[in-house]
Structure 1
């Protein structure tokens, strides 16, 4: 699967999901002052080989935002939220603090955590930093293409 992000001039960017033997799907991505939400999903799912929104789309589900809950994809969503919150705050919270925030968020939503440690947090942060630099370099109307190969099995 290929993800093609287009930087918009207004309040949204666009993600096109390109899969073999299926029509492309377009997803509006509200601008949030950092990389698009689904790009954070890419960083988490691709780096941790975890089954989340993008993996489910790759496996044939619609890119609509009305997916049924699934244990591992719910855990991925919570982790994506933690990384977004950290990015909005400057992206320099201690890795241990992110893990604790993730624990609190998962406990509040009765969601089991993914098995993440300080090294995993660091790896995802490195990917987010790389994507951030690439995204900053994209002009309005320009594209950033990401390949998404994933082998995580359903939870």
Structure 2
């Protein structure tokens, strides 16, 4: 599956999803000052090999904002939120603090947390920083193509 992120000039970027045998789908991604939300999903899911939004779309679900609750996917969503917050604060939160905040967030949302280590947090952050560098190099109106299998 290809995820094609296009940098928009207004309030939105765009993600187009190209899957074998299914119609292409597109999502407008509100700009948030860091990489797009769904690019954070890509980084988390491809690094940890967990099934979240991107994995569910890969397996045929429609790319909508209202998916049915699913424990692993919900745990991924909470982790994406933690990494977004880390990005907004400069990508320099302590991994131990991020794990603590992740557990608190999961408890508050009554969501089983993924089993994660500090090494997992470091690996995801490394991937997100790579994606950030790639995204920053994309010109307005141009695209970044990511492969997800």
Q: TM-score over 0.5 for the alignment?
A: yes
| Alpha-carbon shift at residue 66 of structure 1 (Å) | 1.3
Cross-structure match for 1:22 = 22
Please provide the CA RMSD for this pair.
0.4
5 Å-filtered alignment, 1:1-155, equals: 1-149=1-149
> What count of residue pairs does the alignment treat as equivalent?
149
What TM-score, normalized by structure 1, do the two folds share? 0.95
For residues 52 and 116 of structure 1, what CA distance do their matches in structure 2 show? 15
For residues 93 and 85 of structure 1, what CA distance do their matches in structure 2 show? 9
For residues 66 and 116 of structure 1, what CA distance do their matches in structure 2 show? 26
Structure 1: gaps of 5 or more residues:
150-155
**Segments of 4+ moved more than 4 angstroms:** none
For residues 111 and 22 of structure 1, what CA distance do their matches in structure 2 show? 31
Structure 2: gaps of 5 or more residues:
none
| Alpha-carbon shift at residue 107 of structure 1 (Å) | 0.5
For residues 93 and 64 of structure 1, what CA distance do their matches in structure 2 show? 30
What TM-score, normalized by structure 2, do the two folds share? 0.99
